[in-house]
Amino acid sequence: MTKRRASALKRTARTALRREPSPSKPAAGIAEAGPAALADAFDQRFKANLARMTSGVSPAGMFAVYANWIAHLTLAPGKRVQLARQAAVSAAALSHYALRAAFDTQIPPLIEPSAGDKRFADEAWRRWPFNVTMQSFLLTQDWWANASSGIDGLAPEDARAVSFLVRQALDRAAPSNFLATNPVILEATIEERGANLARGAQHVAEDASRMLAGDPPVGAERFIVGRDVAVAPGKVVYRNHLIELLQYAPSTATVHAEPVLIVPAWIMKYYVLDLSPHNSLVKHLVDQGHTVFMVSWRNPDEKDRDLGLDDYRSLGIGAALEAVGKLAPGRKVHAAGYCLGGTLLAIEAAAMAGRGDDRLASLSLLAAQTDFTEAGELTLFMRESEVAYLEALMRGQGYLSGRQMAGAFQMLRSNDLVWSRLVHDYMLGRRFEMTDFMAWNADVTRMPARMHAEYLRKLYLNNDLAAGRYMVDGSPVRLADIRIPIFAVGTERDHVAPWRSVYKITFCAAETDVTFLLASGGHNTGIVAAPGDPRASYKVRKTSADERYVDPSAWQEAAPRVEGSWWLQWHSWLAAHSTTRVEAHDRTSLPTSLGDAPGIYVLQR
């Protein structure tokens, strides 16, 4: 064990001791202490079992939100009168529309679906009586949107939480989800004489069987890690309990002197950045003359329950930087972090800056948040009740599974990820063709209980990093200490790390140059946007350290749109912040190699 690791373990032990509650009086006997401990253990077990049934969402937190909303609505008689009037006007308008629509197929709708709502896109929804059903649902949806907002005294976060819960209920009850009220399903059922429903039943049975057995979804067998995906040639050049470090073989005669170290999120397998050869970010960087290292995180289990966020920083990023330094001595490193990996990388970069460690040449943050005050709908229920609820769940099993996390992410886009799939796969009896992206998305990981609890409390709940309270080695880190150039990427339709939240790095790290790029697409599809993708576009603008802060709306309006992949822009930025090119050395043949990429950690289930 190294001195640095031993010191870190001592600090962890001291921190754990400090966290133990100090009794205000001498400990009582077993007769007094026993029942309290037993009651606490019972409560923890009860909440853990309940959390498994509610996908980790705290009923107490939801009840508190509803109760707060009802209490404030009760104290707003004017708002209630307005809602009653809206209901009456909508009912009268709908009745008139229903009578006219039965005889006039060209009657204009009372209300149109919101942008992006594809549930009612088919022309069959314009025919009576389905157009009446659709209009009734949309008017109801509009009424509830008004009922859950604009209430005097109701905190904005509570209003957003109520709106979210109402939307979940409405999405579940939408007429598009039922055979009798969905004309598209009815037509398919009549045309196929029910064969679509028979196929759908087979799909239900097949998917349920695979889920219970822990097997990947249908078609995922076409995308085997190391054979079809994650195939960029390279070697495992370092391994510890938490990470494998992959180094990729050069494909050019000369390379940029400064290597690129990529730190992906541990909530997912790293190979989203090395999918198929045509959409591999790793391959693209290597082909542009960069020496690329990639962190591959171990998939933890119940034995790793006590691994903390600082372990991920030291055994992950810290160990990777040391290994890269030995393989490329004297070279600074372009460090890039994706999602949670980017957040932790920003913490390490700030800590390094604070202690005068200048090993980094630049910092790239891909869909990574550093200030969590506007972290999107994931934070709506991230309160003490919810965190304690999740802690009870994780304490029992030692980790949070990827499937449990997937439930929370699916709630954010229930229309696209839940109900539309139910209609397509189980009612229409069809299957979407499996893609490398879909296969990767089903290759879930776990997160240690302690690490995830610390992540939720310190970052989401308390926002310690942006507030300057996040501690590394006993000292608070400050993002403003970072002086190396930063390249930050947000994506337009990101439900996990909203781009306006990602953009806050331009404020938090105001003492250095920040190039912010806004890519089209979502959290994953926006990042994996290879050259040649016809849907890819982006906006980019550099903010120098001596410029005044520009708010995200003004930035979005001022930055011109560029068609194409943002990967090209990033490569140019990396090249501009590199010193020179040197002869490429094939380090994949080093005697220190621990095996071929993609390694063994990525294969862990």
CA-to-CA distance for 244 and 246, rounded, in angstroms?
6
Query: CA-based angle 214:215:218, to the nearest 5?
Result: 140
243 forms beta bridges with 297
The three-class DSSP label of residue 505 is helix
Three-state DSSP state, 96: helix
Can you list the pairs that 144-150 forms with residues at least 24 positions away whose Cβ atoms lie under 8 Å? 144/170, 146/82, 146/83, 146/86, 147/73, 147/83, 148/69, 150/79
**Interior angle at CA 363, CA 230 and CA 553, nearest 5:** 100
Measured distance CA(108)–CA(93) in Å, rounded? 12
Q: Which residue type sits at 523?
A: H
- How would you label 473-503 residue by residue, b for 16+ Cβ within 10 Å and e otherwise? eeeebbbebbebbbbbbbbbebbbbbbbbbb
Name every residue whose Cβ is closer than 8 Å to that of residue 245 and which is 6 or more positions away in sequence.
Answer: 236, 237, 238, 239, 293, 294, 295, 296, 319, 320, 323, 324
Instruction: Output the six-digit token pair for 547.
Output: 């410029």
Q: Name beta bridge partners: 302.
A: none
Centroid of chain to Cα 396: 24
Q: How far apart are CA 595 and CA 296, in angstroms?
A: 13
- Residue holding tokens 């920083």? 313
Quote the CA–CA distance of 377 and 398 in Å, as a whole number: 26
Catalytic residues: 339
Closest CA to 335 of 515, 487, 136: 487
* Nearest-angstrom CA–CA distance, 537 and 496: 20
- Which contiguous run of DSSP H or E holds residue 516? strand 514-519
Cα separations in angstroms, 390 against 130, 385, 508: 42, 9, 29
Which backbone phi and psi does 235 adopt, to 5 degrees?
-135, 155
3-state secondary structure of 236: strand
In the chain the first and final C-alpha atoms are separated, in Å, by 28
Distance, CA of 69 to CA of 348 (rounded, Å): 41
Q: Is the CB of residue 354 less than 8 Å from the CB of residue 475? A: yes
Q: What are phi and psi of 542, to 5 degrees?
A: -95, 135
Q: Where are the beta strands (DSSP E) in 185-281?
A: 234-239, 243-248, 254-256, 260-263
Number of other residues whose CB lies within 10 A of the CB of residue 547: 12
Residue type, 540: V
